[in-house]
């Protein structure tokens, strides 16, 4: 209990220190990138496409970078600043110090990414500089007439179409309301032709149900995992950020984006497994990369176990490790 209490206390204090730091501002700016793009560009193009692209950007760019920046707070910052002595010469279990500080950065990083994910989700589907009022669409119910279109001028609409002999025809109608039917002249065989006005939202305005929650979950989990990786690296090397960046963006970038089973060696694979629904056309591009994604629950479980093993290993290592500080 004393260990847990110490860990929680360190975490709480570290959160307070962290949110006043420049590092936090930098992380917030990084997390803001996909969110900002979503707010600026969302709705101006295909919602599902921009939603998918920004989600992958969040998972592959923002979450690792935030994780790497914050992860180095746990040990590396103290070693570089030569302040770790103040902690390591206190009646405090080193593991509690490591876990408490990690919990703080994971929480802060997770919240930042979750907020960004929620904004990406909202922005992709709603935010726009374009008027997204529902539009009227017309459905032609005719066997032969083709190439029709309507234009609306004031209270008048003009329906233009080509009949079965490719003759251009037009019909003036009054202002259309949803459900209104425009009866066209019968075709030459006496079959009725009509256009039905329907109200329809722009295509793909809504992202798949549960998308926002899954994106928040995968992004936050990703940030937390990357904080462990950096914190762990910082126990063994002096410049963990460099190695962390190389791992996250070179190694993982390659592993996660090359078709094949090697994807399963990257954190990104599991994050994508949580988010991507292979059945959804939204993810056609990503689900056709040659690797079968896991069930979200399986991905969460495996990533959590991986993170837990890393945490335990790091906690044990930090107890045994000697940190050489130069004066």
Residues that bind another protein (CB under 8 A): 2, 5-6, 9-10, 13, 17, 20-21, 81-83, 85-94, 97, 100, 319, 322-327
CB of 6 to another protein, least distance (A): 7
CB of 230 to another protein, least distance (A): 20
First-to-last alpha carbon distance for the chain, in angstroms, is: 37
Q: Report H helices in 126-210.
A: none
* Mode of pairing for the β-strands spanning 181-184 and 168-174: unpaired
CB of 77 to another protein, least distance (A): 10
- Continuous segment of H or E residues that includes residue 170: strand 168-174
Contacts of 167 (CB under 8 A, 6+ apart): none
CB of 3 to another protein, least distance (A): 11
CB of 11 to another protein, least distance (A): 10
The count of C-alpha atoms lying within 13 angstroms of the C-alpha of 91, restricted to the half-sphere facing its C-beta, is 1
Q: Closer CB to another protein, residue 91 or residue 179?
A: 91
Measured CA distances, 189 to 140, 143, 186 (Å): 17, 11, 8
Q: Closer CB to another protein, residue 1 or residue 209?
A: 1
Say how far apart CA 194 and CA 145 lie, in whole Å: 10
Q: Closer CB to another protein, residue 17 or residue 242?
A: 17
Q: How many CB atoms lie within 10 A of CB 315?
A: 19
Q: How many CB atoms lie within 10 A of CB 204?
A: 18
CB of 245 to another protein, least distance (A): 25
Q: Closer CB to another protein, residue 165 or residue 324?
A: 324
- Continuous segment of H or E residues that includes residue 2: helix 2-18
Q: Closer CB to another protein, residue 93 or residue 144?
A: 93
Q: Closer CB to another protein, residue 88 or residue 122?
A: 88
Q: Closer CB to another protein, residue 115 or residue 325?
A: 325
Q: Closer CB to another protein, residue 58 or residue 79?
A: 79
Q: Closer CB to another protein, residue 87 or residue 122?
A: 87
- Nearest to 119, CA basis, from 55, 46, 200, 185: 55
If you ran DSSP here, which 8-state letter would residue 167 be given?
-
CB of 70 to another protein, least distance (A): 16
CB of 66 to another protein, least distance (A): 20
- Nearest to 290, CA basis, from 257, 245, 244, 253: 257
CB of 5 to another protein, least distance (A): 8
Question: 33 near 117, Cβ under 8 Å?
Answer: no
Question: 60 near 80, Cβ under 8 Å?
Answer: no
Q: How many degrees, rounded to 5, is the angle at CA 175 between CA 171 and CA 177?
A: 110
């Amino acid at each position: 209990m004393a260990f847990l209490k110490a860990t929680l206390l360190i975490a709480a204090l570290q959160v307070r220190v962290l949110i006043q730091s420049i590092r936090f501002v930098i992380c917030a700016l990084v997390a803001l990138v996909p969110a900002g793009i979503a707010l600026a560009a969302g709705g101006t193009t295909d919602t599902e496409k921009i939603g998918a692209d920004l989600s992958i950007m969040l998972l592959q760019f923002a979450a690792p970078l935030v994780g790497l920046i914050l992860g180095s707070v746990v040990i590396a910052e103290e070693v570089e600043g030569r302040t770790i002595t103040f902690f390591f010469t206190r009646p405090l279990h080193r593991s509690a110090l490591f876990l408490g500080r990690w919990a703080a950065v994971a929480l802060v990083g997770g919240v930042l990414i979750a907020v960004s994910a929620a904004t990406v989700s909202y922005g992709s589907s709603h935010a726009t500089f374009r008027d997204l009022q529902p539009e009227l669409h017309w459905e032609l119910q005719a066997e032969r007439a083709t190439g029709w279109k309507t234009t609306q001028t004031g209270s008048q609409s003009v329906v233009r179409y080509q009949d079965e002999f490719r003759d251009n025809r037009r019909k003036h109608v009054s202002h259309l309301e949803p459900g209104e039917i425009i009866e066209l002249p019968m075709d030459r065989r006496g079959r009725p032709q009509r256009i039905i006005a329907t109200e329809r939202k722009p295509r793909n305005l809504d992202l798949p149900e549960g998308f926002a929650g899954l994106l928040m979950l995968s992004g936050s989990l990703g940030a937390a995992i990357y904080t462990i990786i950096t914190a762990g690296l910082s126990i063994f090397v002096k410049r963990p950020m460099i190695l962390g960046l190389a791992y996250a963006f070179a190694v993982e970038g390659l592993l996660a984006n090359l078709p094949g089973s090697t994807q399963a060696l990257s954190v990104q694979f599991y994050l994508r497994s949580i988010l991507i629904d292979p059945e959804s056309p939204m993810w056609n591009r990503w689900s056709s990369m040659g690797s079968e994604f896991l069930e979200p629950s399986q991905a969460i479980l495996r990533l959590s176990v991986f993170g837990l093993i890393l945490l335990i290993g790091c906690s044990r290592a930090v107890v045994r490790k000697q940190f050489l500080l130069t004066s």
